[in-house]
Amino acid sequence: MLSDASLAWQKLPQCPEIGLWLLDPALMQRSFSSDEIARIQAYPAYWAFCWASGQRLAAYLLHNQSLVAGKKVLDFGAGSGVAGIAAAKAGAAEVVFCDIDQDAIDASLLNAQANAQEAICRTSHDVFALQETFDVVLAADVLYDRANLPLLDHLLRLGRDVWVADSRIRDFSRPGFSKVMTAESFTMPDLDESCEFRRVTLYRGALYHEKLAD
C-alpha cells in the first residue's frame, strides 16, 4: 500500500443504512508515481473499496429482505463485507465472510462490528474447504477475471439460492443462472470508471439441490 493511505468512515449513497471503513477519498485526488502504481498493482487492496456491484447488491438485499431474513448466508469474495453486512441488516440468521485475503477478512469483521452486526458473523479463507451448505450465497465483483467463471458452479453446490452481481462481463451466459435486473451504481471512493462499469447486472442461480431431485 501507499505510505499516506488511510481509511475513512463513509456512508453508502445507495444504501445509507450501511457505513464502511474505506480508502480515504482524499488520496485519490493526487497523482501517483510509477513506483506507487507498481506497489498498487502488486497488492491491490480490493477490500478498501466498495465496488459498484457490491453496493448495488447490498441495496437490493435491503429492499428485498425476505431473500435473506432468517437464513444462513455466505458472502463469497467478501472484500469490504458490504453484501454480507446488508444481509445481516436484512435479518439473516448467520453470515460467513469468505475471502482468501486476510486483510479482506479483517476489513469485513471491522465493518460488521461498525454496523453492529458482528455477533452473527464468522469467516472462512477457503470456499472449497467449507463442509456445509447455505440458504443463500452472495458473490459481488468476483468476475473481474473470466477465469473465475467456473467458481459459479461450485457456488451452486454450496447454496440453494445464489446471487451474483457483476459489471464486467457483458456476455454472461452460465447454466443455472438467469438475469434479474440491470441498474446503475458506482464504486466508493469514486474511481471515475467508465459508464459501462457503472451498469451492474444481478443474476440469480437455480436451486441446485432441487435440480438434483428432478
Give residue 42's pLDDT.
56
Q: What is the CATH number of domain 52-185+194-213?
A: 3.40.50.150
Q: Can you give the residue ranges of every domain in the chain?
A: 52-185+194-213
Give residue 213's pLDDT.
42
Give residue 39's pLDDT.
59
SS3 string, 111-155, reads HHHHCCCHHHEEEECCHHHCCCCEEEEEEECCCCCHHHCCHHHHH
Give residue 214's pLDDT.
44
Mind listing the pLDDT tens digit of every residue in the chain (214 residues)? 555 568 899 999 999 999 999 988 776 666 666 775 565 555 668 899 999 999 999 999 999 999 999 999 999 999 999 999 999 999 999 999 999 999 999 999 999 999 999 999 999 999 999 999 999 999 999 998 788 899 999 999 999 999 999 998 888 888 899 999 999 999 998 877 677 778 999 999 975 445 444 4
Query: What grid cell was written down for 133?
Result: 451448505
